[in-house]
Amino acid sequence: MPEPRTWQLAAGSAVLGLALAAGAAGAAGPWDSGQRKAERARAVLADGRGGAHHAGPPAGTAPHRPAPAPSAPGVLRALDAGVRPAAPGGTKETTRTGDLAAVLVPLLADPALGPLRTASVVDTTTGRQLYGEGAATPMTPASTVKIATAAAALSALGPDHRIATTTVAAPDGRTVTLVGGGDPTLDRTRLKALADATARALKARGTTTPVRLTYDTSLYKGPTYHPIGPNENLAPVTALMTDEGRLDDSRSGPAPRTADPAGDTATAFAGLLHDAGITVQGTPAPGKAPKAAKTPGATGTDKATGTGTHKATGTAAPKAAAVLARTESAPLADLVERTLTTSDNDLAEALARQTALARRQPASFAGAGKAVHDELARLGLPLAGARLADGSGLDRNDRVSAALLTGILTRAADPARPALRPVLTGLPVGGFSGTLAGRFDTGPATSGAGLVRAKTGTLTGVNTLAGTVVTADGRLLAFAFLAGRTSSPHTAQPALDRLSAALAPPR
């Protein structure tokens, strides 16, 4: 075992590095186009293969697709470098298992965690469970189910997938349809760029008369409202929306939401078309876009300011339906990180439906749940008793086990599965970022500040925490602690923090 002084130095170094990372996150936002800057820098130093350049291109240049983020092997090699041999008379795993049980059992017995509590702690390098208490028991996961949603989306679509919003012209050139692709991150800036490019493409086709504007949300099926009904935590789930249907300037968390995200977006788009020199006749109305032929050539390429990209295409002969313009979301890796860091319910539901589309299931709550379940099964994960009623965790009918969550995190740490890496890099950092920014700040839990990275979960009577921590001997552990019938989040959350902090090196 390392001397206490060694543990303190290791912990202090990690906290210092993560404090710098938190400063960068504060300046650049909670997610950094695919991978946090400090994480990227660490991977570069450890792996020697270089990192991705995530900054946007200079003004006026063509859109730039970020290179893939550094894969997991370099980081895991750095963690393995500090592993010490087992003490005489026992293996590393059996010694650690006994130590963990002695520490975790009394913490898990905290009355603040209610009468229902399960736990799983796994060494991600070996895949061995080091501690378990009801680990296979399905529980209501709350927002920790977003870990499952994110992993399934990355597995089905890959980290470079982007969600497109397009405009299509009818064969007679008199109707333009705004087609939703399911991108809740579409914002006013990108919508304006799409309108400008659409106007240019219409003019290139010789359109001079007023056009009729329709909008197509047919990509999604089933109810638009979540089973919990209208709620400030989630907009109506539709394939076309702007700024997640928020009616204020917020970017995360609860907010007043419009009851008609698609209609509002189409109305705003009509105004932007008018500003770009195209007169829109009447009020935008729902309508299915005609099937568009692929348009040869391109009249121009624009980059929308922000995280997405935008391309405009057109042809001079308005004889067939054709795509006029297109705007794309940031890569899926970025969307996953944002989903996990800020616990973004709208994005989580979008990721679940994108998974459904990739697996040819209906893009509905039911179809998305089946697609996510099936994708996790393809990853060889333990799904006994699992039920995925939604992608966000707002539905109390969701059921996952602690073993499933640690299994997903272990897959994401596997060097052979670099596509799943954003599941780890998107986890909030204890005491520093996202939904963990205000936690790990008192008592024994402070030992986890900067070292614990985890997804939170909170519903009335449900409190959960699942993530990773690096131990004093350099091992990356995955953990999941799920508690049900808790009396108060104000006592349950600190209890969960103490559990995860117990896995970190002592100060």
d(C-alpha 174, C-alpha 400), whole Å: 51
Query: Which residues, 6 or more positions from 355, have their beta carbon under 8 angstroms from its beta carbon?
Result: 149, 152, 153, 156, 157, 368, 371, 372, 375
Catalytic entry in 37, 146, 192, 303: 146
pLDDT for 98: 62
Q: What is the mean pLDDT of residues 346-365?
A: 98
pLDDT for 293: 59
Contact (CB, 8 A) for 465 and 453: no
DSSP code string of 136-203: TS-B--GGGHHHHHHHHHHHHH-TT---EEEEEE-TTSSEEEEE--S-TT--HHHHHHHHHHHHHHHH
Q: Does position 33 have pLDDT exceeding 80, yes or no?
A: no
pLDDT for 292: 75
Q: Does position 460 have pLDDT exceeding 80, yes or no?
A: yes
370 is catalytic: no
- In this prediction, residue 51 has a pLDDT band, given cuts at 50, 70 and 90, of very low
DSSP three-state, residue 422: helix
Main-chain phi, psi angles of 470, to 5 degrees: -100, 125
Contact (CB, 8 A) for 446 and 368: no
Q: What is the mean pLDDT of residues 137-157?
A: 98
Catalytic entry in 343, 364, 401, 447: 343
Which of these ranges, 82-96, 202-216, 304-318, 477-491, has the smallest mean pLDDT? Answer: 82-96
Catalytic entry in 33, 92, 120, 143: 143
319 is catalytic: no
- Does the reported pTM lie above 0.85? no
343 is catalytic: yes
Q: Does position 57 have pLDDT exceeding 60, yes or no?
A: no
470: nearest Cα among 505, 507, 498? 505
Q: Does position 327 have pLDDT exceeding 50, yes or no?
A: yes
